[in-house]
Amino acid sequence: LTRSKSVPSLTSQNVQTKIKMEKELAKVEGLMQGLSQEGARLSQAMSTIRRSSSSSQLTSALDTDGSKKKVGTYLQ
C-alpha cells in the first residue's frame, strides 16, 4: 500500500495555516482589548467633562446673588 506524498504536505500546510490564524487572532484580540480600554477611558473623560460643566454652571448660578439669570446647559 503506497501513500500519496501530498497528504503530509497538506497536513503541514494546515498546521502552518492554523498557527498563522492563531497569531492573527491573538493580534486582533489585543487590538480589541486596547480599543475597549480606550473606550472606557474616553467614557470616563466625557463623564468628568459633563460633571465639571454642570458644576461650573451651578457655581455661576450661585454667584449671581439670587438674581433670576437663566443658566443654560452644556447641550444648548
Do the beta carbons of residue 76 and residue 65 sit within 8 Å?
no
Three cell numbers, residue 21: 490564524
Query: How do the pLDDT tens digits run along the chain, 76 residues long?
Result: 565 665 566 688 899 999 999 999 999 999 999 999 999 999 999 999 888 877 776 666 666 555 555 555 555 5
Question: Alpha-carbon distance 67 to 63, whole Å?
Answer: 9
Helical (H) or strand (E) element with 56: helix 6-62
